[in-house]
């Protein structure tokens, strides 16, 4: 399978859905918004974008299956599985805040081999395929070399539906607030991960995420020379609901702090 070719064919499909999302900004009426769960919003924009992506990617790789956020198609397991978040940062989009994205990953026999994150407002496309390095709009990117933690700029996402680990989270937050250049919260985990991949952020951590939030961005970071783990230092970040992603030096320091707080 020619992953470079597939990646280059995936990008226009993603950008087409990005144009649709961008043209709908500010057009969604209150009656068009549904609440899937606590603080989890969705509109026709998410669902239509997902349908567009499924249609395009399905034609690109006939026989492939999908794991999607909005369930516009039955989620299935298979040798070739696309993992799709059609609009990561839906709340930002609905409130017309400028950070939201599309996240795509392709898994082959359970291993991610391709990732695309498209930041819609700035029209920045971050992408990677297995063994090919990472790129932003065609230009090679890599994680930062900033270290130690005291010199790092970090990103996170605040818990918005799972409050069971708030004490541990704020313990970590306070430590990083006191021992880094600062912490940012943009509201799109896929964008946060993409920014780690290109060195804008030095590290990112969050819990309560789903596979479609992180699959594309985590893979791009790995191809950009970064490290991605769960809160124990293991590799269950895709389905385990917790992730640390950083350049290698900062990632090691972050893991020590987080593992101590979360046990």
Q: Of 118, 141, 164, which residue constitutes the final position of a domain? A: 141
pTM, two decimals, is: 0.96
> Are residues 135 and 190 both part of a single domain?
no
Is the pLDDT reported for residue 37 higher than 80? no
Give the number of domains in the chain.
2
Using one digit for the tens of pLDDT, what is the confidence trace for 212-234?
999 999 999 999 999 999 999 99
> Are residues 88 and 205 both part of a single domain?
no
Q: What is the 3-state secondary structure (H, E, C) of the chain?
A: CCHHHHHHHHHHHHHHHHHHHHHCCCCCCHHHCEEEECCEEECHHHHHHHHHHHHHHHHHCCCCEEEECCCCCCCCCCCEEEEEEEEECHHHHHCCCCCCEEEEEEEECCEEEEEEEEECCCCEEEEEECCCCEEECCEEECCCCCCCHHHCEEEECCCCCCCCCHHHHHHHHHHHHHCCCEEECCCCHHHHHHHHHCCCCCEEEEECCCHHHHHHHHHHHHHCCCEEECCCCCCCCCCCCEEEEECHHHHHHHHHHHHHHHC
Is the pLDDT reported for residue 158 higher than 70? yes
> Which CATH number does the domain housing residue 162 bear?
3.40.190.80
Using one digit for the tens of pLDDT, what is the confidence trace for 95-136?
999 999 999 999 999 999 999 999 999 999 999 999 999 999
Residue 125 domain boundaries: 3-141
> Which CATH number does the domain housing residue 55 bear?
3.30.540.10
The average pLDDT across 194-198 equals 99
Give percent above pLDDT 90 in the chain. 89
Q: Of 141, 163, 189, which residue constitutes the final position of a domain? A: 141
Name the pLDDT band for 32 (thresholds 50, 70, 90).
Answer: confident
Is the pLDDT reported for residue 39 higher than 80? no
Q: What is the pLDDT of residue 108?
A: 98
> Are residues 82 and 209 both part of a single domain?
no
> Are residues 137 and 12 both part of a single domain?
yes
Name the pLDDT band for 161 (thresholds 50, 70, 90).
Answer: confident
Is the pLDDT reported for residue 38 higher than 70? no
Q: Of 94, 116, 141, which residue constitutes the final position of a domain? A: 141
The two structure tokens encoding residue 197: 């991949």
> Are residues 109 and 211 both part of a single domain?
no
Could you tell me how far CA 30 lies from the centroid of its own chain? 27
Average pLDDT over all residues of the chain: 96
Name the pLDDT band for 53 (thresholds 50, 70, 90).
Answer: very high
């Amino acid at each position: 399978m020619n992953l470079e070719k597939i990646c280059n064919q995936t990008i226009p499909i993603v950008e087409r859905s990005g144009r649709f999302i961008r043209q709908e900004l500010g057009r969604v009426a209150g009656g068009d918004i549904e609440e899937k769960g606590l603080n989890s919003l969705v509109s026709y924009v998410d669902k239509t974008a997902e349908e567009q992506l499924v249609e395009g990617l399905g034609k690109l790789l006939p026989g492939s299956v999908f794991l999607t956020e909005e369930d516009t198609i039955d989620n299935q397991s298979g040798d070739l599985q696309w993992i799709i978040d059609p609009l990561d940062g839906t709340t930002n989009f609905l409130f017309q805040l400028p950070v939201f994205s599309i996240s795509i990953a392709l898994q082959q026999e359970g291993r991610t081999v391709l990732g695309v994150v498209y930041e819609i407002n700035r029209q920045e496309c971050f992408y990677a395929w297995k063994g090919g390095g990472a790129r932003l709009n065609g230009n090679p990117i890599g994680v930062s070399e900033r270290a130690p933690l005291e010199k790092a700029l970090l990103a996170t996402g605040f818990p918005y539906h799972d409050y069971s680990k708030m004490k541990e989270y704020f313990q970590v937050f306070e430590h990083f607030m006191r021992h880094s250049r600062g912490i940012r919260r943009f509201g799109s985990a896929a964008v946060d991960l993409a920014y780690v991949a290109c060195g804008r952020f030095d590290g990112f951590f969050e819990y309560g995420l789903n596979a479609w939030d992180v699959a594309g961005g985590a893979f791009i970071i790995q191809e950009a020379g970064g490290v991605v783990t769960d809160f124990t230092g293991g590799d269950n970040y895709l389905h385990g609901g917790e992730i640390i992603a950083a350049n290698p030096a900062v990632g090691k320091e972050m893991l020590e702090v987080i593992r101590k707080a979360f046990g």
